[in-house]
Chains A and B, each alone.
Chain A
């Protein structure tokens, strides 16, 4: 099946399933994953990572969490505390790994995409210029949360 034959609902289902698959494979913590939701602009981001998607899906993947979340995940993945500049670099890399994993999953669903290198967002950015966004809420123990948004232009 080529992507033109997929409806937007099918694409959103594939992105949702791919996001769950990738988050579970990438982050070695047991998540509780919320139902998908569609939100409208603007998207307020205090701290997060933005990665562009090109190809069959055009949009941006935005991961939002606080410093503590990225520090916890960094330590769980690499066995060492992650702080300062390295925390920002790790946040970008975690975004890259999740976006890359999602692109890999989507390829198995006949959706060909490529990703851009990550941009770290800090300081209360308000993102607009997209039509709608798929929102997936991922929760971990100790009330740690990761919000994943795929901003779409259709």
Chain B
């Protein structure tokens, strides 16, 4: 069972991800509605996995990945975004993300990503 921080500006999407993680036997220890909150909650909660949207107010997801990785190079972060263009994927992976899930996704895709990473 992994301790997970979910980051998305849409409450609906945070709820969906939480339901999926819980049904897979994991624990969602925190929810962040933008990149800055994710950085703060990461430092406080030290989760084993972070899911990160890209397009968010305050601080976008790629910037948040960079900040989290600056503080903890071992942080495990998976992008979860509707923006699937090659350049965006490349930028996120270069920032330190371990995988890139394009929305809309299903439970199987989330399960696959977690099994590969954790």
Contacts and interface: CB of A to CB of B under 8 A. Distances in A.
B11 interface: yes
Interface in B5-25: 9-13, 15-16
Contacts of B15: 86
A96 B56 CA distance: 10
B10 A93 contact: yes
Interface in A111-140: 112, 114-118
Nearest to A112: B87
Contacts of A90: 10, 12
Interface in B62-118: 81-87, 102-104
A107 B91 CA distance: 15
Interface of B: 9-13, 15-16, 55-57, 81-87, 102-104
Contact of A107 (B10, B85, B104): B85
B82 A82 contact: no
Which 3 pairs from chain A and chain B are nearest by CB? A100-B82, A107-B85, A89-B12
A115 B83 CA distance: 9
A103 interface: yes
B89 to A, nearest CB: 10
B103 to A, nearest CB: 5
A97 B86 CA distance: 16
Interface in A67-124: 74, 77-78, 82, 85-86, 89-90, 92-93, 96-101, 103-104, 107-108, 112, 114-118
A17 interface: no
Contact of A26 (B9, B13, B55, B104): B104
Contacts of A108: 85
Given A77-B104, A85-B11, A100 B83 contact: yes
B55 A100 contact: yes
9 contacts: A26-B104, A77-B104, A78-B16, A86-B15, A89-B10, A100-B55, A107-B87, A117-B55, A118-B10
